[in-house]
Chain A
Amino acid sequence: MTACASSHVSLSNNTMIGSPDVVAFTKEDDYGQATPEALDLPEEFSIPLHPLADSNPWAKTSYAKFTKDFILISEFSEQVGPQPLLTIPNDPKVCGTFDLNYFSLRIMSVDYQASFVGHPPGSGYPRLSFVEDSRVVLGDSKEGAFAYVHHFTLYDLEARGFVRPFCMAYVAADEKKIMLQFQELSLRFSQASECLKAGNRRAFAKELQRKLQDLEYTHSVLQREEGLQREAGPQCVYSAHTVEKANELANVEKSIYEHRDLLKQISAYHRHPRRDPHAASCQKCMSECLRECEELLDKYAKLANPLGYSERVSKGKSQLDDDGGEEEADEDDDEAIKRRPSYTPQLIKAKSAKCFDKRLKNLRELCEETFHEATVELLKETERSFRGDLCYLYTQRLDKALHRKQKIVNFLFEEDLDDNVDDEAETLRPFCAVNHAADNYMHLNPPHIVLGSEALELDGLKPQGAPDPACETTTTQELRLLGIHLDSSPSDQTLETQESSEGTKSFSSDKSGTDQAEKQESLASINTEGPDPDSDLTPEPDQNAYPERESSSEDMETTAGEDDCDTGQDQTPVSLLEVVSELEARNGDERELAAGSELLVPMDTACCMAQEGFLYEAADPDAVLCLGPNSNLIPSQTPVVNQEPHAMHPIQDEYTVGSPSSEGPATGLELPVGILGDAVSRTSMEDGSDCTMSTSTGSDRAASPLGYGGSVTLRQRKKAGQGALRFVRQYSFAMQALWCLLSGRTLVVLGADEGRVRRLVSALALFVPNPGKSGDRVQPWLSCPFTLTDLHRWKLIGLQRVASPAGSSVLYSLSRYSRYISILDADMKTLRCPQYRGQLLANMADHRTYIRRGSTYFLHLQSALCRLAAKAFLFTFTHHLHLPVSPTEGPEAVEARRRCFLQEQLGLDEEDSQILLYLSRLITQRYLQAANSNCCAAGPCFSFNYITSVLYKI
């Protein structure tokens, strides 16, 4: 029954090995070592060739029991064995008949540190294990499922060894997809894991706090009882009862030490050197957690006073005093804790029962709410960004990489992906999915933390050699111990060796695990997600609300996909077209800022397949359906990175050094940044961004009307393509109109009917060079007279024609500035503009064109405009066309040379040259502006020509 095929890492080897053998993907593999040949394309532009055997790219997916990729989170429960916890998207349709329980068993059976025990020999106290994550690629050829599996552990006070193993898996039907996206997957899942772990450490510290409170309380009660007994009974008689009490007291004391020690250990977490280059976690989370732990440490050191450890405490106190008199605050906090009504310490039974009926915490409880939410969002985003098949992902990335190379001319006709710069920094920067601005309520002692935050944050950033003096005395010893422990601990071996050893080990654990899992399969299927019994310490949101909300949002999100699922029923492979249209429908509105032309590629394939109207029409209703819910969701989903850029530097450097990404398969191909990346880069641009801001931007985006004035989405552009095609076919003077726009002459579309004018404007907006980030060079509807500055600001204006006094002033402005504008009269169907006799635009504006579909025409336009931009680039950056080559040469010679170049080498006549000159001017201005942004203090320049206009009629 089990033929778990391991998948080897090398690209060439795509045969399945029929043994349950697992090999982790590591960077030592020969994967990234393909020696680049000098004449080849840069690596980021090359698509790895499929072996000939795989002539049908969808062949493999046919026997998978799920329709599309999903993310699975599983846990190896000490009670029930491996069990699935959560899938993303959280939709039963996604998994289909695929057996999640079985697959969880598979992926958890290679768990590498399940056998780790809490009490290593030689140390007095139980140890927390500091385990790096492991990354494995698994395959199950029978099921047709392949998975990238990311194992990690979370701390739980009640768990065996205080450790609960979990894993996240990216499950796909295509093995190659996983292998080739390994780096990105690894990065994404590391981020998610770090996020969970950060939350977990905080939760763990909190749990320890609670536990310590209980213990202290128990201790005091026992002491009192003992005292009473001592008073009551005769001095020298030790009854069995008294002995028992004394033992109990001793046990409690021991327990207190143990837990205090655990607290120390967890606070020392960040000092561990991380082997894992992806494991750079958010400094802010880290330092916050550290801070809290240290505060707790101080607190319980003090409470331990009656136990006779005053010496140590006073030491710590004096240290504190030296440190700047923070004692006052601490006392206040102490009192605050004592006064805190929310938690009453409970008496702890001498023998805490470790039995199976005890309820274990679920994932949400293990990590704090915020972190859990953030992680789920991160994973959702990951799932979104990996949608589509490999081919699609590659073209998308190629497109992005090419985009990045063309920064200088991109702005002309393509949507301005301003995230380019941020993008690169993004991958280098440790990522934090948590919205830091929003998490204030999570602090254990909010006022204190807020006050001291800056200083403490600095502390957190201090290099290892200079630990915080406040905790130095109390933790140095432990640190040393820990260091030794870590060095000898198997869990701290390098990732590679550890995993290879685990690979062999997994034989046995696999089998035993299987038995266990079979026994408890029925148990596992019951999801033990009861209400939280002791959620009183922190104000946690309603537990029950969460799954409902999530599932409902998922439902809505996948609404668009349902039709596709229906058409692609009966396990037929999901065709590229479907994926694409679905993606478009879904992402069209989500990715307004990012997607743009990236999604053009699949559209191209659609056109090639000549499925008339399929793509275009199919996308429409879906998009409409999904627009509402998605846009509603966006505000709550948008995570914000609220970090001081300079604060990130140390860790960034560290990260860069250890980064294997330079050897990865996709050098230069960063993670596809979708909505998440956008949101992050956008908000990080605006310094001091906060939660409200991110929500407001989100809602702004959601509220922006489809079309005019707002940012131009792909769908709108396609629609505009249709409109442009119609314009070109209907108006015989379309060429002249296009020439006006392309040569920088403001075109005014005059009309009485708003709808018609707006339609014309949105069609013509395609031809406006440098339309701005949200099409701000286009004014779709204006009903007041315009001024000179408006003419410069807007290159395309829709103007209302009114027969009223107000209208006459509009007409006055029209006539006054007539030399600067061209006027397209939508009602009379006339165009007044300078004469155009060139040939350049004949191809673009042929009213007898054979192109019938808007999207085709749009692509045709894109290519033509792209060619234009390339010419403009050449022209702009050719030195001798602008500057004299010898000192004797005058400007006339240069002028002549330029003219000659334009006419003879580019074959442009006078009017066509003007287009190029205008584009070149834009490029020059942009290039000059890029560095000295202060020049925007002066207004922009507006150039024009004194040319006679003529009136064109249909």
Chain B
Amino acid sequence: MLRWILGGREAQSSVEKSPVLCIGEEQPKNRFTELQVLKGHFDIVRFLVQIDDFRFASAGDDGLVLVWSIETGERLQELRGHSQQITAITTFACSDGVTSLLTASSDRSLSLWDPGTGNRVRTISDLQSSVKCLLVSERLRVWVSGGEELCVWDKDFQLLCHRQKHSDTGITALVELPKNCIAAAVDKEIVIYSLTVSADPSVSVTETRRCSEHHDQIRALININDGMFASGSHAGELILWDSTNFSNLAYEHILWEESHPSCQTEIKLAAPKPSEMSIQHLTTNGRLILAAVGSGLYVYDVASKAVVAYRKAAHDSNVLHTMLLSDSELMSCSEDGSVRMWEIQDLPLAAEPASAGFFGMWTFGRSSKQPGPQQKKVLEIPNLRTLELTGDLIGHSGAVQMFLSFGEKGLVTCSTDHLLILWRDGERQSRLRSQALFQKLEQNGGL
């Protein structure tokens, strides 16, 4: 081991063959050359939510909600009130243009906060069950909480409607559909509710449809555009649905190996296998869908209903969150503690998807889980492009739960190591600092 760390190059050859991707230290396209560690949480930080152009909030298992400034990294507010972990957080635009924060916690309470003052504006406690997801509908001027039961609330925290639970798992995800409909992911099914707002401020919820085409638990549910929404399941199924008639538009079953559907049920019991194809997270920009599948990434083109690019072993461990920065750039974070930036590139002639850099020996980890060939599919699909790693951010010592991009202002990541890290463009920061310097110089009237 000791020899290994600095001992000559002879050690490299063995490590170099690791299938795990490593870009090495030369990352010219990585502009995040400055980081700031934000401390404040005492437990896993799971959620990040943008409040406005310069503020964001973080929440996690310690029940704390902290409001930060993206520019200075200062902690602006500390929202204390929840006694248990935060299960859902979302922003809530009030009528007067002020953005509030809506949080749900395992202590079976819901709170509305003013992030400017840190005040808990409203709170509802003693719910029958804890809320797992929140959906704010600007159009209907209501918000919906989902858990074992589905509740519809108005802006003043008045309960408008209430529906009992359907299954043990309860609602895990909610999306808003056109025509006053809501899609809720309940175990293996997607339940469509339609909300009818009557003249008096009461709302009734009726279940209109149940789509049960997934074979496993639904993990992710997103809106693609006005006409479509998508869901991903634990078994790696990606289904596109029509938003109006709720019909199945496309079904993609992501299987990395030439796997045998027959053995899937067995594997499900036998641990890590299914998680390797579980769809953890879905994002879209309307044209592309990015799915985090196990430790891999999968880009699906909505128009052509086909896979455009994929990377099976994008990370050393499960991908937890992803984002499409543009049509060609994407970002992902994983349990392995890193954030990686990718570019969708046209396939070069050589088939080698990524070089396991010269300094591959420096990458440790829970690696080598997936030995074996990986190019087979590449050859099968002619118009496939590659996902090229352009940079990675290493800083957290635990799984990176989520990240939030503020464009050129930077990127925030949160992790199980209780920390948030603010990644910024060093050049831009140094320019800003210089500006501040000369400003101050002017104020001081010289040195």
Q: Which residues of A contact B (CB under 8 A)?
A: 408, 750, 787-789, 792, 801, 803, 807-808, 811-812, 814-819, 823, 825, 828, 830, 832, 876-877, 879, 882-883, 891, 894, 917, 921, 924-925, 927-928, 931, 935, 937-949, 951
Residue of A nearest to B30 (CB): A946
Contact for B434 among A924, A935, A951, CB less than 8 A: A924
Contact for A882 among B395, B421, B438, CB less than 8 A: B438
Residue of B nearest to A823 (CB): B6
User: CB of B397 within 8 A of chain A?
Assistant: yes
Closest beta carbon of chain B to A313's beta carbon, Å: 61
Cβ contacts A to B, 7 pairs, < 8 Å? A788-B35, A828-B6, A882-B435, A882-B438, A938-B38, A945-B33, A951-B6
Contact for B37 among A792, A801, A882, A883, CB less than 8 A: A792
Is A941 touching B6 in the complex (CB atoms < 8 A)? no
Closest beta carbon of chain B to A670's beta carbon, Å: 21
Closest beta carbon of chain A to B393's beta carbon, Å: 10
- Which residues of B sit under 8 angstroms from A823, Cβ to Cβ? 5-6
Closest beta carbon of chain A to B312's beta carbon, Å: 23
State A788–B8 Cα separation when bound (angstroms): 26
Closest beta carbon of chain A to B8's beta carbon, Å: 8
Q: 19 additional contacts, CB 8 Å, given A938-B72, A943-B33?
A: A788-B396, A789-B39, A803-B1, A811-B4, A818-B25, A819-B25, A823-B6, A830-B6, A879-B438, A924-B434, A925-B433, A928-B437, A941-B35, A941-B36, A941-B424, A943-B34, A946-B30, A946-B33, A947-B26
Residues 11-48 of B contacting A (Cβ, < 8 Å) = 24-28, 30, 33-39
Is B431 touching A801 in the complex (CB atoms < 8 A)? no
Contact for B436 among A828, A832, A928, A949, CB less than 8 A: A928
Is A938 touching B25 in the complex (CB atoms < 8 A)? no
Size range of the interface on B? 35 or more
State A941–B436 Cα separation when bound (angstroms): 16
Is B37 touching A939 in the complex (CB atoms < 8 A)? yes
- Which residues of A sit under 8 angstroms from B75, Cβ to Cβ? 937-938
- Which residues of B sit under 8 angstroms from A946, Cβ to Cβ? 25-28, 30, 33, 391
State A872–B95 Cα separation when bound (angstroms): 52
- Which residues of B sit under 8 angstroms from A948, Cβ to Cβ? 24-26, 358-359
User: CB of B440 within 8 A of chain A?
Assistant: yes
Residue of A nearest to B71 (CB): A938
State A877–B396 Cα separation when bound (angstroms): 36
- Which residues of A sit under 8 angstroms from B74, Cβ to Cβ? 935, 937-938
Is A928 touching B433 in the complex (CB atoms < 8 A)? yes
State A882–B4 Cα separation when bound (angstroms): 44
- Which residues of B sit under 8 angstroms from A945, Cβ to Cβ? 33
Residue of A nearest to B361 (CB): A815
> What is the 8 Å Cβ interface bit string for chain B, positions 418-434, against chain A (1 contact, 0 not)?
01010010100111011
Contact for A788 among B72, B397, B424, CB less than 8 A: B397
State A830–B424 Cα separation when bound (angstroms): 32
User: CB of B394 within 8 A of chain A?
Assistant: yes
Is A939 touching B39 in the complex (CB atoms < 8 A)? yes
Residue of B nearest to A813 (CB): B397
State A808–B1 Cα separation when bound (angstroms): 8
Is A877 touching B441 in the complex (CB atoms < 8 A)? yes
- Which residues of B sit under 8 angstroms from A939, Cβ to Cβ? 36-39, 73
- Which residues of B sit under 8 angstroms from A935, Cβ to Cβ? 72, 74
- Which residues of A sit under 8 angstroms from B37, Cβ to Cβ? 788-789, 792, 939, 942
Closest beta carbon of chain B to A440's beta carbon, Å: 42
Is B437 touching A876 in the complex (CB atoms < 8 A)? yes
Closest beta carbon of chain A to B229's beta carbon, Å: 39
Is B394 touching A819 in the complex (CB atoms < 8 A)? yes
Is A828 touching B7 in the complex (CB atoms < 8 A)? yes
State A788–B338 Cα separation when bound (angstroms): 13
State A836–B6 Cα separation when bound (angstroms): 19
State A817–B28 Cα separation when bound (angstroms): 18
Is B359 touching A940 in the complex (CB atoms < 8 A)? no
Is A825 touching B436 in the complex (CB atoms < 8 A)? no
State A817–B7 Cα separation when bound (angstroms): 18
Q: Given A408-B447, A788-B397, are A924 and B30 also a contact pair (CB < 8 Å)?
A: no
State A877–B447 Cα separation when bound (angstroms): 9
Residue of B nearest to A816 (CB): B394
User: CB of B362 within 8 A of chain A?
Assistant: yes
CB-CB nearest 4 A-B residue pairs: A882-B434, A946-B27, A938-B73, A938-B74
State A113–B209 Cα separation when bound (angstroms): 113
User: CB of B54 within 8 A of chain A?
Assistant: no
Q: Given A788-B37, A877-B447, are A811 and B5 also a contact pair (CB < 8 Å)?
A: yes
- Which residues of B sit under 8 angstroms from A788, Cβ to Cβ? 35, 37, 395-397, 419, 421
Is A817 touching B394 in the complex (CB atoms < 8 A)? yes
State A876–B440 Cα separation when bound (angstroms): 13
Which one of A787, A816, A832, A883 has the highest number of Cβ atoms from chain B below 10 Å of its Cβ? A816
State A938–B71 Cα separation when bound (angstroms): 10
Which one of B27, B37, B391, B426 has the highest number of Cβ atoms from chain A below 10 Å of its Cβ? B37
User: CB of B363 within 8 A of chain A?
Assistant: yes
- Which residues of B sit under 8 angstroms from A949, Cβ to Cβ? 25, 359
Q: Given A817-B394, A830-B6, A877-B447, are A941 and B429 also a contact pair (CB < 8 Å)?
A: yes
Residues 55-113 of B contacting A (Cβ, < 8 Å) = 69, 72-75
Q: Given A807-B1, A942-B34, are A947 and B25 also a contact pair (CB < 8 Å)?
A: yes
State A943–B363 Cα separation when bound (angstroms): 21
- Which residues of B sit under 8 angstroms from A825, Cβ to Cβ? 6
State A294–B38 Cα separation when bound (angstroms): 59
Residue of B nearest to A818 (CB): B362
Q: Given A830-B6, A939-B36, A940-B36, are A883 and B438 also a contact pair (CB < 8 Å)?
A: yes
Closest beta carbon of chain B to A698's beta carbon, Å: 34
State A39–B277 Cα separation when bound (angstroms): 80
State A876–B37 Cα separation when bound (angstroms): 26
Residue of B nearest to A927 (CB): B437
- Which residues of A sit under 8 angstroms from B38, Cβ to Cβ? 938-939
State A924–B396 Cα separation when bound (angstroms): 28
State A945–B24 Cα separation when bound (angstroms): 12
Closest beta carbon of chain B to A733's beta carbon, Å: 13
Residue of A nearest to B39 (CB): A939
Closest beta carbon of chain A to B309's beta carbon, Å: 24
- Which residues of A sit under 8 angstroms from B397, Cβ to Cβ? 787-788, 816
Residue of B nearest to A788 (CB): B395
Closest beta carbon of chain A to B338's beta carbon, Å: 9
State A433–B362 Cα separation when bound (angstroms): 61
Is B434 touching A883 in the complex (CB atoms < 8 A)? yes
User: CB of B2 within 8 A of chain A?
Assistant: yes
State A787–B398 Cα separation when bound (angstroms): 11
Closest beta carbon of chain B to A404's beta carbon, Å: 13
Is A924 touching B433 in the complex (CB atoms < 8 A)? yes
State A925–B438 Cα separation when bound (angstroms): 12
Residue of A nearest to B338 (CB): A816
Residue of B nearest to A405 (CB): B447
Residue of B nearest to A407 (CB): B447
Is A944 touching B362 in the complex (CB atoms < 8 A)? no
- Which residues of A sit under 8 angstroms from B438, Cβ to Cβ? 879, 882-883
State A787–B395 Cα separation when bound (angstroms): 9
Residue of B nearest to A881 (CB): B434
State A891–B428 Cα separation when bound (angstroms): 10
Residues 191-233 of B contacting A (Cβ, < 8 Å) = none
Closest beta carbon of chain B to A414's beta carbon, Å: 18
State A792–B35 Cα separation when bound (angstroms): 10
Is A811 touching B1 in the complex (CB atoms < 8 A)? yes
- Which residues of A sit under 8 angstroms from B8, Cβ to Cβ? 951
Closest beta carbon of chain B to A406's beta carbon, Å: 10
State A819–B7 Cα separation when bound (angstroms): 18
Closest beta carbon of chain A to B147's beta carbon, Å: 36
> What is the 8 Å Cβ interface bit string for chain B, positions 346-366, against chain A (1 contact, 0 not)?
000000000000110111100
Residue of A nearest to B76 (CB): A937
- Which residues of A sit under 8 angstroms from B434, Cβ to Cβ? 882-883, 924
Is B447 touching A803 in the complex (CB atoms < 8 A)? no
Closest beta carbon of chain B to A185's beta carbon, Å: 34
Residue of A nearest to B7 (CB): A828
Residue of A nearest to B357 (CB): A948
